[in-house]
Amino acid sequence: MSTEMMTGDKEKAIALLKSDAGKIQQLIEVQLENLTMPQCPLYEEVLDTQMFGLSREIDFAVRLGLVNVENGKQILGELQRKLDDLHEASVRK
């Protein structure tokens, strides 16, 4: 495989992972705006499931050599900070 193709595949993998992370971030932001988590534990379960799925996607991309571990951790870390903000906001409510 040429270097150009491999670079293109890596860029596509990062873009797809960031897109999936963006969808989860949207769920978190909607929840932050409404702060309905205490009344809706199902929503928290959906977020947890989405985060788990994304972590598996990232692990797969890392194992294929399309994403380095640091980039994967950065994507998950940003989302985890948002989730922490959501939990803090729901506790303060």
What are the sequence ranges of the domains in the chain?
A: 3-92
Instruction: Round to whole Å and give the CA distance between 41 and 84.
Output: 16
Judge whether residue 24 has pLDDT over 90: yes
In CATH, which superfamily holds the domain spanning 3-92?
SO2669-like (1.10.287.750)
DSSP state of 67: S
Task: Supply the pLDDT for residue 33.
Answer: 81
Mean pLDDT, rounded, for 2-6? 67
Question: Is the whole-model pTM more than 0.85?
Answer: no
pLDDT tens-digit series, residues 62-89? 999 999 999 999 999 999 998 888 878 7
> Which bin fits 51, alpha (ψ -120 to 50), beta or left (φ > 0)?
alpha
